[in-house]
């Protein structure tokens, strides 16, 4: 899949055009992260990402403009900064509640309600290899399970070798 820098290498001054441009960049950035299963990004890496840097035509979005796009993603709940300097962030191309729903559907579909799993089994086990949540980073897995816990569908538990989860 080819990722192209959107039409221009700068943010548009017209408010309406700029909002459409930001929405398109946000969508493209999230699609790129989803396609590559990226959950953590550094600003230095992102500057070279094909979403914001089109080397074939020598056009690239400035760091300041990338930060504006990322701020838009943060406002929408798709991004969290890991540091005050905004050099590293967590990207949520699917929110924890959405991941939790997918996980719970898999548990229910496979008759595994009232079963205890380690976090490793759930995210990296052989049984989940064909599932979208396979390979999910631990921070997102825990948030997803906490969302299920809030809904009364799971309980995150401490086990001898780490954390686990029991589904209801």
pLDDT 10s digits, 95-119: 999 999 999 999 999 999 999 999 9
pLDDT 10s digits, 69-79: 999 999 999 99
Look at residue 107 in the predicted model and tell me its pLDDT.
Answer: 97
What is the secondary structure of 74-124 as a DSSP string? Answer: HHTTSEEESSTT--EEEE-SS-HHHHHHHHHHHHHHTT-TT-EEEHHHHHH
pLDDT 10s digits, 140-167: 999 999 999 999 999 999 988 789 999 9
pLDDT 10s digits, 8-24: 456 667 778 878 989 99
**Rounded (5°) CA angle 57-36-164:** 160
Q: Do 99 and 140 meet the contact criterion of CB atoms below 8 Å apart?
A: yes
Look at residue 54 in the predicted model and tell me its pLDDT.
Answer: 84
């Amino acid at each position: 899949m080819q990722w192209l820098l959107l039409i221009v290498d700068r943010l548009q001054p017209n408010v309406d055009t700029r909002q459409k441009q930001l929405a398109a960049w946000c969508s493209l950035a999230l699609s790129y992260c989803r396609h590559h299963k990226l959950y953590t990004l550094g600003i230095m890496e992102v500057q070279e990402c094909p979403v914001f840097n089109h080397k074939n035509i020598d056009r690239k979005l400035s760091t300041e403009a990338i930060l504006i796009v990322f701020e838009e993603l943060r406002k929408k709940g798709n991004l969290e900064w890991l540091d005050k300097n905004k050099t590293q962030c967590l990207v949520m191309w699917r929110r924890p509640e959405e991941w939790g729903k997918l996980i719970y559907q898999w548990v229910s579909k496979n008759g595994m309600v009232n079963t205890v799993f380690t976090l490793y089994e759930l995210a990296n086990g052989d049984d989940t290899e064909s599932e979208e949540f396979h390979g999910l980073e631990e921070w997102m897995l825990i948030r997803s399970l906490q969302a299920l816990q809030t809904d009364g569908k799971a309980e995150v538990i401490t086990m001898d070798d780490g954390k686990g989860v029991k589904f209801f």
